[in-house]
A and B are shown apart, each in its own frame.
Chain A
Amino acid sequence: MALLDIKNLTLEIDTEAGWIKALDKANLMVKENEIQALVGESGSGKSLIVRAISGGLPQQMRITADRLTWRGKNLLAMNGEERREIMRRDIAVVFQDPIGTLDPTVSLGEQLEESVPYEFVGSGWFWQKRAVRRKIAIQLLHKVGIKDHVATMRAYPHQITTDIGQKFMIAMALVSQPALLIADDPTRGMEATTKTQILKLFKRLNQTKGLSILFVGHDLLAISSMADSMTVLYCGQTVESGPIQKLQKRPLHPYTKALMESAPSFRVDLAPKSPLVTLPGTIPTLQHLPIGCRLGPRCERAQKTCVQAPEIRKIHDHQYSCHFPLHSKAK
Chain B
Amino acid sequence: MSRFNLYIDEQHPSPWQQTWREFKRSHVAMAGIIMLGFFTVVALFGPLIAPYDPLLQNTDTTLIPPSWDPSGTVRYVLGTDALGRDLFSRLIHASQVTFGTSVMLVMVAMLVGVAIGVMAGMSYGVRASIINHLLDALMVIPTLLLAIIIVAIVGTGLVNSMWAITLALIPHFVHHTRNTVRELMKKEFILATKLDGASKPHIFIYSLLPNMIEMLVVQGTIALSIAILDITALGFLNLGAQGSTIELGAMLAESLNVVYIAPWNIALPGLTIFLMVFSVNVVGDGLRAALNRRLRH
Contact = CB atoms under 8 A, between A and B. Distances in A.
Let me know if chains A and B touch directly in the complex, using CB atoms closer than 8 Å. Answer: yes
Interface of A: 280-282, 288, 297
A281 B1 CA distance: 4
11 contacts: A280-B1, A280-B2, A280-B3, A281-B1, A281-B3, A281-B4, A282-B1, A282-B4, A288-B5, A288-B7, A297-B3
Contacts of B1: 280-282
Contacts of B3: 280-281, 297
Contacts of B2: 280
B237 to A, nearest CB: 47
Interface string B1-13: 1111101000000
A307 to B, nearest CB: 16
Interface string B42-60: 0000000000000000000
Nearest to A281: B3
A15 to B, nearest CB: 10
Q: Which 4 A-B pairs have the closest CB atoms?
A: A281-B3, A280-B3, A281-B1, A282-B1
B2 to A, nearest CB: 8
A232 B239 CA distance: 74
A297 B7 CA distance: 15
From B3, B4, B7, residue with most partner A Cβ within 10 Å = B3
Contacts of A288: 5, 7
Contacts of B5: 288
A297 B1 CA distance: 12
A232 B5 CA distance: 25
A16 to B, nearest CB: 9
Range class of the B interface residue count: under 10
Nearest to A290: B5
A92 to B, nearest CB: 29
Interface in B1-42: 1-5, 7
A281 B4 CA distance: 7
A96 to B, nearest CB: 20
Nearest to B7: A288
Nearest to A282: B1
A280 B2 CA distance: 8
Contacts of A281: 1, 3-4
Contacts of A282: 1, 4
Given A280-B3, A281-B1, A288-B7, 8 more contacts: A280-B1, A280-B2, A281-B3, A281-B4, A282-B1, A282-B4, A288-B5, A297-B3
Interface in B233-262: none
A8 to B, nearest CB: 29
A265 B63 CA distance: 92
Nearest to A287: B10
B103 to A, nearest CB: 35
Nearest to A280: B3
B39 to A, nearest CB: 32
A291 to B, nearest CB: 14
Contacts of B4: 281-282
A17 to B, nearest CB: 10
A262 B26 CA distance: 46
B20 to A, nearest CB: 15
A230 B166 CA distance: 65
A268 B45 CA distance: 80
B276 to A, nearest CB: 34
A20 to B, nearest CB: 14
B24 to A, nearest CB: 13
Nearest to B3: A281
A282 B1 CA distance: 7
A288 B7 CA distance: 9
A188 to B, nearest CB: 20
Nearest to B25: A16
A140 B7 CA distance: 54
B85 to A, nearest CB: 53
A172 B2 CA distance: 46
Nearest to A16: B25
B21 to A, nearest CB: 10
A280 B1 CA distance: 6
A315 B1 CA distance: 34
A282 B4 CA distance: 8
Contacts of A280: 1-3
Contacts of B7: 288
A48 B2 CA distance: 30
A297 B5 CA distance: 10
A297 B4 CA distance: 11
A294 to B, nearest CB: 14
Contacts of A297: 3
A137 B4 CA distance: 53
Nearest to B5: A288
A280 B7 CA distance: 18
Interface in B194-238: none
B32 to A, nearest CB: 23
A241 to B, nearest CB: 29
A198 B3 CA distance: 40
A22 to B, nearest CB: 15
A271 B5 CA distance: 34
A258 to B, nearest CB: 15
A288 B1 CA distance: 15
From B2, B5, B7, residue with most partner A Cβ within 10 Å = B5
B296 to A, nearest CB: 12
A311 B102 CA distance: 67
A305 to B, nearest CB: 21
B164 to A, nearest CB: 43
